[in-house]
């Protein structure tokens, strides 16, 4: 163990101490440190002071004296040893005995992005997005937001989308153009976050793509924004939505020149994307906006402690969060947890119908794909391919999430019941019950029917 072998414990090479978290919702603002792999970690004030004291020269006794002086409390060498070995070393914040950085693995957050592919490294990202930081000047932001509001009002309440929809669906080329612009705007959204980093005083990292709940998604590494003030972090959070607003204004300008009504569908898709991003249920922009407004970086991490804090036996115990932040997090948990459970149960129950619908749709698209290929209709082939992917993804998403939750929950329960045979047997019985429920929900008994055209699909 590093602490036992090293004469003087030291921080991992390349570890950065970023200071206290600005606008924190905690009673005692935590400290922020960034590992060499780029992951920003939040630690308690006590652990931050200990990290700041590590220089590779001080012994455990000297560290205890220094930490006690900084924190105004009695600290023993054994206390320091415990903090180093049980708190800091598992996080990969200490150097190895030979002075090298420890091998660490980034934490996979709940509902996080998977299968990341880097498209532009941090240096390239900084070069290509820095010129757009000027778009966050007040004399640019205000006119853009006014034009965005006027465009949305005119498209939705004056012009409407009927003619745009008809024109797009009458021409596969225009429909694919709308789809392509929508996909490109999703990447442009990430440019907004990176440019906002520059404007707020932070440094963006890599940009790329990955899978979010098996759906393709773009991402930008903006971990450096954690060291900003609350206002700076909010600028970064809203930067992507602001760039979506720029797309709306630009599309409106092009429409005024070309009068191609199909372009107005891009306005509608941008609004849908923006509303989806604003949801605080998943790790989208709305989630990060709420987290930064309350000063609590990872709301999902507080689900367990918040539910435990609502139990009568925990009333009156000291709370790590401030009163306002605590009530906001409680409200979020009470809304999000039942909603996620309901969505999971609904997805499990509807999976047989999704499978049947996908099977019928795949047969139809296979025929269309064959016909279009023989006729040399490239647009038809592309459209059929996209519809095939859209049919398969929902089934894959539900299956993946059920398997992932089962594995993650099983590992967590197995670790929590170690050394407790009675609890472990109860866990086995509960697991068998869940498997039985899945078999009941998915066993073929007439429920594998495709969705009909005359169904309303109400809740």
CB 164 within 8 A of CB 262: yes
pLDDT of residue 6: 46
pLDDT of residue 155: 93
pLDDT of residue 1: 44
pLDDT of residue 4: 45
pLDDT of residue 208: 93
CB 258 within 8 A of CB 250: no
CB 337 within 8 A of CB 345: no
**Residues 372-423 pLDDT 10s:** 888 887 777 887 787 788 788 888 878 887 888 888 888 878 888 888 888 8
pLDDT of residue 453: 61
Phi, psi at residue 19, to the nearest 5°?
95, -170
pLDDT of residue 108: 65
Which positions ≥6 away from 148 have C-beta within 8 Å?
245, 248, 249
3-state secondary structure the chain: CHHHHCCCCCECCCCEEEEECCCCCECCCCEEEECCCCCEEEECHHHHHHHHHCCCCCCHHHHHHHHHHHHCCCCCHHHHHHHHHHHHHHHCCECCCCCCCCCCCCCCCCCCCEEEEEEECHHHHHHHHHHHHHHHCHHHHHHHHHHHHHHHHHHHHHHCCHHHHHHHHHCHHHHHHHHHHHHHHHHHHHHHHHHHHHHHCCCCCCEEEEEECCEEEEEECCHHHHHCCHHHHHHHHHHHHHHHHHHHHHHHHHHHHHCCHHHHHHHHHHHHHHHHHCCCCCCCHHHHHHHHHHCCCCCHHHHHHHHHHCCHHHCCCCCCECHHHHHHHHHHHHHHHHHHHHHHHHHHHHHHHHHHHHHHHHHHHHHHHHHHHHHCCHHHHHHHHHHHHHHHHHHHHHHHHHHHHHHHHHHHHHHHCCCCHHHHHHHHHHHHHHHHHHHHHHCCCCCCCCCCCCCCCCC
The structure tokens 């707020």 sit at 200
CB 409 within 8 A of CB 314: no
pLDDT of residue 244: 97
Cα–Cα distance measured from residue 15 to residue 33, given in angstroms and rounded to the nearest whole number: 7
pLDDT of residue 458: 55
Residue numbers in the chain where pLDDT is lower than 70: 1-7, 99, 106-111, 214, 447, 452-459
pLDDT of residue 2: 46
Cα–Cα distance measured from residue 55 to residue 259, given in angstroms and rounded to the nearest whole number: 67
């Amino acid at each position: 163990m590093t602490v036992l072998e090293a004469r003087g414990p030291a921080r991992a090479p390349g570890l950065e101490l970023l200071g206290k978290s600005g606008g924190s919702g905690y009673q005692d603002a935590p400290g922020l440190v960034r590992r060499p792999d780029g992951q920003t970690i939040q630690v308690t004030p006590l652990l931050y002071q200990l990290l700041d004291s590590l220089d590779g020269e001080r012994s455990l006794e000297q560290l205890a004296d220094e930490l006690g002086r900084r924190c105004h409390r009695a600290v023993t060498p054994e206390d320091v040893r415990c903090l180093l070995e049980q708190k800091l070393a598992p996080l990969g914040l200490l150097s190895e005995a030979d002075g090298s950085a420890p091998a660490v693995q980034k934490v996979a957050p709940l509902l996080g992005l998977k299968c990341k592919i880097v498209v532009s490294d941090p240096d390239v990202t900084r070069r290509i997005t820095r010129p757009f930081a000027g778009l966050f000047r007040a004399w640019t932001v205000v006119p853009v937001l006014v034009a965005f509001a006027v465009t949305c009002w005119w498209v939705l309440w004056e012009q409407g989308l009927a003619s745009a929809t008809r024109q797009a669906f009458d021409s596969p080329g225009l429909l694919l153009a709308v789809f392509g612009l929508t996909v490109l705007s999703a990447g442009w959204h990430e440019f907004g976050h990176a440019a906002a980093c520059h404007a707020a005083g932070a440094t963006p990292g890599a940009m790329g793509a990955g899978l979010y709940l098996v759906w393709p998604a773009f991402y930008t590494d903006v971990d450096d924004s954690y060291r900003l003030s609350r206002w700076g972090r909010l600028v970064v959070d809203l930067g992507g939505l602001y760039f979506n607003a720029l797309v709306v204004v630009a599309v409106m300008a092009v429409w005024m020149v070309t009068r191609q009504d199909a372009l107005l569908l891009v306005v509608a898709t941008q609004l849908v994307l923006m509303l989806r991003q604003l949801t605080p249920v998943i790790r989208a922009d709305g989630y990060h906006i709420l987290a930064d407004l309350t000063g609590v970086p990872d709301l999902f991490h507080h689900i367990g402690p918040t539910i435990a804090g609502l139990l009568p036996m925990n009333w009156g115990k000291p709370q790590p969060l401030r009163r306002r932040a605590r009530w906001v997090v409680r409200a979020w948990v009470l809304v999000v947890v039942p909603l996620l459970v309901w969505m999971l149960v609904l997805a499990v129950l509807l999976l047989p119908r999704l499978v049947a619908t996908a099977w019928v749709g795949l047969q139809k698209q296979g025929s269309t794909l064959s016909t279009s290929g023989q006729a040399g209709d490239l647009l038809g082939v592309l459209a059929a391919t996209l519809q095939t992917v859209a049919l398969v993804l929902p089934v894959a998403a539900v299956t993946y999430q059920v398997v992932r939750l089962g594995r993650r929950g099983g590992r967590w329960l197995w670790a929590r019941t170690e050394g407790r045979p009675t609890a472990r047997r109860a866990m086995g019985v509960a697991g068998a019950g869940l498997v039985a429920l899945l078999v009941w929900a998915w066993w073929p008994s007439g429920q594998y029917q495709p969705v009909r055209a005359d169904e309303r699909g109400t809740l």
